[in-house]
């Protein structure tokens, strides 16, 4: 896909790595080469950070009226939709996900840019009543400064958009480091920003390994905020690194998400959405509902139907029209999922379906079949750990109180769902779940105008919604005395 190694975008210019290093990107569905991109060095990252600092201090973008910044983001949305096929194909090749899923992602990304474009001039600032007619007191929100952004490989451009759009809306500059395995849509969105005339240095792109390229974005003194989406272990390291510089952090660190099904739920809808919750995008979704928690009176019948339908799911590559789910991102990740399932079985779980790499036609890619582990104890490692793959674990409950306690028995708190026909049950349980998003009789929908983020170890801060914009600002109190006078506190002598 890429024909040039000049794929770093620094200070308004497309440049190669300072040492000429490159990385070959392959499609995880079949191992074919997608393209060759530059592999940044520490020197490249330094240049990008300093370019972002220079652009912020120049204040060209900061002082662009908020309404104009918003109009720019709406033009980004329009440009992305005009090139939707190009973007979706690039995302599908990098990730291996089905083209239809990548196309849906592009619609969501365009909606994200449009939303933040529309609210860019809706300042949360306010006047404060000082109780004194001679005083004008106001709170304003100003851009935080230079933002470091580190994004994952499961939704490469979507996760980048959730950060880029509010950061630009608020008047910040940034350095983006996408996952090293899935860089192409990050390159394309930088091309859009460049073509639309974003001032040099406002947006910068560095590609490469996290240890070399990502680490400086949380530790460099010229970074004011670091926003990271990814695993808990890496997130903790980033938080620790950022703490030394007392930087603002925004962390979305995944989840172990309960999908709670009561006996009075719409059976067919709950079964269908249990599959959707866990196996969409090959289960490579931070909010995937992989903890299936079913009321004991319907558990056997319900799980049997989930198992039957899971066994019928067709795996395939991005452009296979028969495919219903795709591969994992890499051999290394497939090995992790394989080990995760094996440890779950060794701890007492019963393998009902899946647990393998597919058939002969799947051996060139990194596929893992939709899997169901039944009869899981709550201390089973497959229940406790985020497997990040197409694997459902099954637990049961008898009472509402037990359902709530079981669903909250996790260090994570990103998302969850409740399935019931009783409005009272739905309201009580949804309010008691310690998770940042709770669906009632549905799974996965989100809105750019509603906040997204987690409780507990699932992260710090929120993306999307008005709060998602405020994350990229600092509140400042300005107190103005309109009738200055001598205080007499220290009398003249």
Q: Which residues are catalytic?
A: 252
SS3 per residue for the chain: CCCCCCCEEECCEEECCCCCCEEEEECCCCCCEEEEEECCCHHHHHHHHHHHHHHHHHCCCCCCCHHHHHHHHHHHHHHHHHCHHHHHHHHHHHHCCCHHHHHHHHHHHHHHHHHHHHHCCCCCCEEECCCCCCEEEEEEEEECCEEEEECCCCCHHHHHHHHHHHHHHHCCEEEEECCCCCCHHHHHHHHHHHHCCCCCCCEEECCCCHHHHHCHHHHCCCCCEEEEECCHHHHHHHHHHHHHCCCEEEEECCCCCEEEECCCCCHHHHHHHHHHHHHHHHHCCCCCCCEEEEECCCHHHHHHHHHHHHCCCCECCCCCCCCCECCCCCHHHHHHHHHHHHHHHHCCCEEEECCCCCCHHHCCCCCCCCEEEECCCCCCHHHHCCCCCCEEEEEEECCHHHHHHHHCCCCCCCEEEEECCCHHHHHHHHHHCCCCEEEECCCCCCCCCCCECCCHHHEECCECHHHHHHCCEEEEEEEEECCCCCCCCCCCC
How many other C-beta atoms can be found within 10 angstroms of the C-beta atom of residue 362? Answer: 19
Inter-residue contact 110 to 81 (CB < 8 Å): yes
Inter-residue contact 193 to 324 (CB < 8 Å): no
Instruction: List the end-to-end C-alpha distance of the chain, in Å, as a whole number.
Output: 79
Give the pair of three-digit tokens for residue 317.
């590559």
């Amino acid at each position: 896909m890429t024909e040039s190694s000049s794929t770093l975008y620094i200070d308004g210019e497309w440049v190669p790595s300072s040492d000429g290093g490159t990385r070959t990107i392959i499609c995880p569905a079949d191992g074919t080469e997608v393209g060759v991109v530059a592999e940044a060095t520490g020197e490249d990252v330094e240049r990008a950070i300093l370019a972002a600092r220079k652009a912020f201090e120049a204040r060209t973008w900061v002082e662009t009226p908020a309404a104009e910044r918003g109009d720019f983001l709406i033009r980004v949305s329009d440009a992305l939709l005009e090139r939707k096929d190009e973007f979706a194909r690039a995302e599908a090749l990098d990730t291996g996900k089905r083209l239809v899923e990548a196309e849906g992602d592009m619609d969501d990304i365009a909606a994200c840019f449009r939303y933040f474009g529309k609210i860019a001039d809706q300042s949360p600032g306010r006047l404060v009543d000082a109780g004194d007619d001679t005083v004008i007191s106001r709170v304003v929100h100003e851009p935080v400064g230079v933002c470091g952004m580190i994004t994952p490989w499961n939704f490469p451009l979507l996760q980048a958009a959730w950060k880029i759009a509010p950061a630009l809306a608020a008047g910040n500059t940034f350095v983006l480091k996408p996952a090293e395995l899935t860089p192409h849509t990050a390159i394309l969105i930088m091309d859009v920003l460049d073509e639309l005339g974003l001032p040099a240095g406002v947006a910068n792109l560095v590609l490469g390994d996290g240890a070399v390229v990502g680490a400086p974005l949380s530790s460099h003194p010229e970074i004011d905020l670091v926003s990271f989406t990814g695993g808990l272990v890496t997130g903790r390291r980033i938080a620790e690194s950022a703490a030394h510089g007392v930087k603002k952090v925004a962390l979305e660190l995944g989840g172990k998400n309960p999908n709670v099904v009561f006996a009075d739920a719409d059976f067919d809808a709950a079964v269908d959405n249990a599959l959707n919750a866990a196996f969409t995008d090959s289960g490579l979704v931070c909010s995937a509902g992989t903890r299936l928690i079913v009321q004991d009176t319907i558990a056997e019948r319900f799980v049997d139907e989930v198992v039957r339908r899971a066994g019928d799911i067709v795996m395939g590559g991005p452009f296979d029209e028969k495919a219903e789910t795709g591969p994992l991102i890499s051999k290394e990740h497939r090995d992790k999922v394989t080990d995760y399932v094996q440890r779950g079985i060794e701890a007492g779980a019963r393998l009902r379906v899946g647990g393998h790499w597919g058939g002969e036609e799947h051996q060139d890619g990194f596929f893992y079949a939709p899997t169901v582990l039944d009869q899981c104890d709550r201390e089973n490692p497959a229940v406790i750990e985020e497997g990040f793959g197409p694997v459902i674990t099954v637990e049961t409950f008898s009472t509402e109180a037990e359902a709530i306690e079981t669903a909250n028995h996790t260090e994570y708190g990103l998302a969850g769902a409740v399935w019931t026909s009783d409005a009272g049950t739905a309201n009580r349980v949804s309010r008691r779940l310690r998770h940042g998003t709770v669906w009632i009789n549905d799974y996965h929908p989100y809105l750019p105008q509603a906040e997204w983020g987690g409780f507990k170890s699932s992260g710090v801060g929120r993306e999307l919604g008005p709060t998602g914009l405020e994350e990229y600002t600092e509140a400042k109190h300005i107190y103005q005395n309109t009738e200055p006078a001598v205080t007499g506190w220290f009398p003249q002598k």
